[in-house]
Amino acid sequence: MDKWVKRWKVSSSRGEGHHTVAQDADGNYACSCIGWTRHVPRRDCKHIIDVQLGLYPTEAEAVMKKMTE
């Protein structure tokens, strides 16, 4: 079973691709960016903060939107 219940595709600040932000069932976030994966102790990166601010739809929401267009 997958630990992550929600996922977001977040644009890289450099405009080179994207990062994946994920949330588990307990509400904990993770990000695939180097800033988050290499920082100990963990703290929310700008990608996680953008997701928390509602700036990106979840991957499931993005798929549903494409299907209705």
What pLDDT shows up at residue 6? 93
Output the pLDDT for position 63: 81
Task: Work out the pLDDT band at 1, boundaries 50, 70, 90.
Answer: low
DSSP state of 1: -
Average pLDDT over residues 24-48: 94
pLDDT beyond 80 at 15: no
Pairing of strands 4-11, 29-31: unpaired
Domain boundaries, the chain: 4-68
Of 50, 54, 15, 25, residue with least CA distance to 36: 50
**Predicted pLDDT at 12:** 86
The mean per-residue pLDDT over the stretch 13-37 comes to 92
Give the pLDDT confidence score for residue 14 in this predicted structure.
Answer: 78
